[in-house]
A and B are shown apart, each in its own frame.
Chain A
Amino acid sequence: MDKQLIFKSKYLNKLKGEVQSGLLIDHYKSNLFIYDKTQTLMLPNIITAADLADQLDVNDDCKTAILLYEAFKNLEPIQASDERLWTYLTHVDLYSYMIRRWDAVYNSSSKDEAKYIFEHWFLQSSSQSSLLRHALAGLWWAVSLSVEENKGPEKYDLTKILFRQLDFPTRTLGTYKLGRHKEAVIGILEFIKENDDLFTTNFEDKTRYITKHLNIIGGVKPISYYKRDFFKAELKKITLSIQAL
């Protein structure tokens, strides 16, 4: 079994420079991204996910996220936040998925092609919000934050709630400091699951509201101290406000 490859840092910077200058943009309109195969390193403890690109579903982010997470389950946090890995995956192993899921440059419909490529193919920085917004890293981390390994076949039930609307993991919950505390994420998702009738309408507005509300509580209380029941209890107190949205 082949070991997973990543780009060398210098090559990654070269790619960025050439996208910035416009030199490389036409490469993203091709069915195969041409890259310098000598500019890679091996991750010795991670096995490459053969045929993963063919299994990913451009119409189902949750399914894709779970498949991606399963394929790279053994990533350590320091590897899962490594720009060299995610950029290699977007450009090589999962390129065929990328041009189907984020196709604006591929089909020449993007107004700012360099910006579009940077937003989807590269990590903008190594911060939490950048990781969660990345086309692949964001999916992996969203599953990592919501999976409950001890729940057997139901272990992805909360992940499925998180992915009801892509902005919830990638723009709302995931980008707040709150999103770094798994107990908070689980607490919020369990509250949604247990009060499903509350969230049948205006899911996006409501999830934004509850995330903001808990973030305000985090301004005066040390969020990381609390378990999931604390967050559920806090949300229960504002049930009427959620209902009114």
Chain B
Amino acid sequence: MKFTEISFPHPVLGVLDAIDSKISLFPEPEIKSNVDFYHITIFFNHDNNDLLELIKIGSAEYFCDVTCSNTLYRKIFTSKDGRMEFEIAKKAVRGRVEFTCLILTTVDIDYTNTNSHVDYYSYIFKLDQGDVLAYFGEFDFDADIVYEKLKAVTSFMEVVENENLTFPYIDLKKSKIEIQLPSQSFKIYCNDLISQEIKYSPIFHSSFVLNALLIALYNFDSHRDFLWARVIEYRLKNDFDLLALSIQEVENIPEIAQKLLGNPFNRLLEGLLQISESTIENE
């Protein structure tokens, strides 16, 4: 159902100006993740007395339709009060999980609403069970994203070998940004003395990781469907430090990249200082 494109024959709160009352999903829905389940909490918020009364007498209820196209998952949840909690098994969904929040009739009713637009005055609407009375909106989350590990660069980027290359290549058409290294370079990179050495990580971050990330961010719009872009988009919307930086403004991109990688230039300089001090000590 595309509520922004429908004009219902009866007044529906939340669709155009059919009913003059406040309606929102507030506070924002909570999505918590444990080992096996996503735990969802939704707060249905409105101040329409006629609808509150219908819910109170059992003629209407809060309703959430949850769907996931990738696993053909479709399930409904209902509640008699404005706070709804439920769980979704992790093995039931993949990728985007979408939620639509409504109030529905639970029985056939004759319906009027005191706050409805003048166009609806003096009409009594015969509604069937399951008809929509209010539309709170929609939201979604991405089940492919491991939210607990989002801070790690590995959540959106990886270094791989490409035996056909002479020079490195950044592939954005993969689920993670792929830094493809020629075989010889990859073997050096995989050497424990380099890749497992924690003091070198700022060097990697401020060199090819930062370069790859900048290329990705400058090409962000044309890759929005890829997992790496969805992970970064989530961080842009949820990391306090990144909230004020719109990726649509190209001049913000270097700062976004620095913040996503945790200030790699500064870490590089501090790291170099550390390496140089340990070298002096060893001498």
Contact = CB atoms under 8 A, between A and B. Distances in A.
Nearest to A80: B71
A202 B75 CA distance: 33
B252 interface: no
A222 B100 CA distance: 10
A221 B130 contact: yes
A152 interface: no
Contacts of A179: 72
A222 B64 CA distance: 10
Nearest to B75: A224
Contact of A76 (B67, B92, B95): B92
Interface size class on chain B is 20 to 34
Most buried by B among A13, A80, A81, A179: A81
B63 A222 contact: yes
Interface in B81-98: 90-95
B105 to A, nearest CB: 10
A167 to B, nearest CB: 18
Contacts of B73: 77, 180
A78 B8 contact: no
Contacts of A226: 130
A contacts with B: majority SS: helix
Contacts of B63: 222, 225
Contacts of B100: 222
Interface in B59-86: 63, 65, 67, 69-76
Interface in A1-22: 9-10, 13
A219 B69 contact: no
Given A78-B92, A218-B1, A224 B72 contact: no
B42 interface: no
A177 B98 CA distance: 12
A127 interface: yes
A185 B229 CA distance: 35
A162 interface: no
A128 interface: yes
A76 B74 contact: no
B1 A77 contact: no
A99 interface: no
Interface in A75-100: 76-81
Contacts of B6: 219-220
B131 interface: yes
Given A13-B174, A220-B6, A180 B74 contact: yes
Nearest to A182: B74
A79 B65 CA distance: 23
Contacts of B131: 221
A79 to B, nearest CB: 8
Contacts of B95: 126
Interface in A201-219: 218-219
Given A179-B72, A225-B76, A81 B94 contact: yes
Contacts of A13: 174
B2 interface: yes
Given A76-B91, A126-B95, A225-B76, A81 B70 contact: yes
A14 to B, nearest CB: 10
A222 B130 contact: yes
A181 interface: yes
A131 B65 contact: no
A162 to B, nearest CB: 14
B256 interface: no
Nearest to A78: B91
Given A127-B69, A177-B67, A221-B131, A78 B90 contact: yes
A69 interface: no
Given A78-B94, A224-B65, 20 more contacts: A10-B160, A13-B174, A76-B92, A78-B92, A79-B91, A81-B70, A81-B72, A127-B70, A144-B72, A180-B67, A180-B72, A220-B1, A220-B6, A220-B8, A221-B132, A222-B63, A224-B67, A225-B65, A225-B104, A226-B130
Pick the 4 closest A-B CB pairs, nearest first: A77-B71, A180-B74, A76-B91, A126-B70
10 contacts: A76-B91, A77-B94, A127-B69, A131-B70, A177-B67, A181-B74, A218-B1, A222-B104, A222-B132, A224-B74
